[in-house]
Structure 1
């Protein structure tokens, strides 16, 4: 009996003109990727829905999704209209992923959405996308003309938001990497939320930084800002479960706009070397990421399928260039191995 294989996606930041971004998505489609996920941050990248529109028109099969947009800088009614517009162009291929807005809200002095705001926003989105009226207050009851059904996924990493995702979302995007310990804990929290709401199991999509390499130690050095950023924003306990003990200051001077999205990545790597050793970065790459040979990565992807993960979206290290190398490496060496055993 063959091992289950999750859907394989790739994260494509809208870091260039939409037509150029679509070229990368089209290549991913040609090589057999199942999904392309687009992050949303209005000051870091081009508009995500503009890019998605171009991708919908420029592809035929590959699934498209936001990973993720938010309901803070974008009003839920505006998100509903944008989602409907993309879904019309890519019938059955579009997933609306939503989160609390970290890299969108921080640079403009706003705060992430609370759990209550996410719950209310999801309710409004569902109502509008179903064609029902919504009471906006002040006597305003309105509906979305020409609605379209769109799956709503919620991205989460902390226990409360993971449970909330299980309670209200059509799927959960797990932001805690693919280490066995954190993945098991995150999955359990999502199931708790689903059971509390009397719902069936919620599909899980795991995110993971990926590199096809025979030298994990060398490649892992570039993960230092990612590792430090996770420790800085409440993930130190999760890292410690895998034996990675870090003490990163709440504020690190230098990288703009933050550690995870630093514009000068080489400088950020050097700065983060104060707290993240080469050994810690390699341990992070092996436990939380998919770094290794094509055979090793294919085996781990099969393992994620056995663990109940429905989809995995792979990320390259970097926010302001397209993942062309990752698409070619995974598409040329990992996906054929997965297809062989399917």
Structure 2
């Protein structure tokens, strides 16, 4: 998609809004000080604090670091509401904000709603982008527009399935890939984004590629991999079995798993979730998942994988830690002190 010569790989960190906004900004400031390029915040109204409140606090408390939602949605939030909120953040951090959108998984599930369909995503994105561009829109006979649309806001779509990957290539400014870091799974995902771009008459390089990956800097990859079993199980549970199989991971997880709240990825009792998922995800499968979908290993190994991703056209990576209800303090420190210096210096090759 994008040429690796288009600039240095941007490395971001995912920070769940799990605490008061004024306390969370300390994590963002620390990430900025250590050289992270971006901080991304997920959105789930019952799990965390309001994402746009946290983004506002982060915008006011930082100077350089990019900020993004990873991701909000157009199901629990009307596109017009998202447009206004995004504009408000972008005004405080001009040139630093990316609006990341998805189908709404952890936002819709806890309130009994369903994720957005492909058709709903297309319609919502079209409306949202029109409002952000200052265009007038017909809301069922009432024509309205967003007053003071403000600075330009890149809109990125998180996707794992072929349809939404193609949709990202067709109408979004970027794709947030949930498809792993291995060359085979990455190539499969980016081919769908490229197909969407070409079908829309766009140049493939117009769509930036961001890879989302769980990360652990460790000398004990098996121990870290065991902690990832709920993530692997959730991918299999939510239509990702084909992607796992492409990486040589065969797991069969039931559609509903008892004893985990609110879901596998955001389990409040992570140790219990790991134990439950061990009946479907073996240690060997978890280790392969860590190798193919995540960035797990020594700092030097992670640097090599990051450079390989950039060589394959990835423009940005944002790293996630295991756990939804604490800030990624250890990951910020380990990546900031061990990985980013190696990436900048060219070591780890």
Matched, 1:44 2:29: no
**Which residue pairs with 1:19 in the alignment?**
22
When structure 1 is superposed on structure 2, of 86-95 and 112-121 the one drifting more is 112-121
2:254 match: 249
Once the two structures are superposed, the pairs formed by residues 111-126 of structure 1 within 5 Å of their partners are 111-126=114-129
SS in 1 for 2:175: strand
Cα distance in structure 2, aligned partners of 1:74 and 1:175: 22
Q: TM-score, normalised by structure 1?
A: 0.97
Structure 1 window deviating more from structure 2 (242-251 vs 287-296): it is 242-251
Q: 2:198 aligns with which of 195, 207, 222?
A: 195
Q: Report the Cα distance in structure 2 between the residues aligned to 1:271 and 1:5, rounded to whole angstroms.
A: 41
SS of residue matched to 2:228? helix
Distance 1:126 1:5 in 2: 28
Partner SS, residue 59 of structure 2:
helix
**Deviation string, structure 1 residues 72-111 (Cα, Å, up to 9, x no partner):** 0000000000000000000000000011111111111111
TM-score (norm 2): 0.96
167, 171, 185: which is aligned to 2:188?
185
CA drift of 1:341 comes to: 2.1
Tell me, which stretches of 5 or more residues in structure 2 are unaligned?
none
Match of 1:233 among 231, 238, 254: 238
Post-superposition offset of 1:141: 0.5
SS at match of 1:330: helix
CA deviation profile, 1:122-178 (whole Å, cap 9, x unmatched): 1111111111111111x2101111112211110100001100110010000001121
- CA drift of 1:274 comes to 0.6
The equivalent of 1:140 in structure 2 is 142
Q: Contact 1:66/1:96 (CA < 8 Å) preserved in 2?
A: yes
* Alignment partners' CA distance in 1, 2:246 and 2:143: 49
Q: What does residue 72 of structure 2 align with? A: 69
Matched residue, 1:332: 337
Shift of 1:235: 1.2
- Alpha-carbon RMSD: 1.2
Matched, 1:296 2:298: no
**Equivalent residue number for residue 309 of structure 1:** 314
2:276 aligned with 1:274? no
Q: Tell me the secondary structure at the aligned position of residue 234 of structure 1.
A: coil
Unaligned regions of 5+ residues in structure 1, if any? none
CA distance in 2 between counterparts of 1:341 and 1:227 reads: 32
Structure 1 CA distance for aligned equivalents of residues 292 and 133 of structure 2: 41
CA distance in 2: counterparts of 1:119 and 1:228, whole angstroms: 28
**Is the 1:5–1:301 Cα contact (8 Å) retained in structure 2?**
no
Report how many aligned residue pairs link the two structures.
340
Q: 1:5: Cα distance to partner?
A: 4.1
Q: Distance in 1 between matches of 2:304 and 2:276?
A: 34
What is the distance in 2 between the residues matched to 1:118 and 1:215? 41
**Aligned-residue offset at 1:179:** 2.0
Structure 1 segments (4+ residues) deviating >3 Å? 2-5
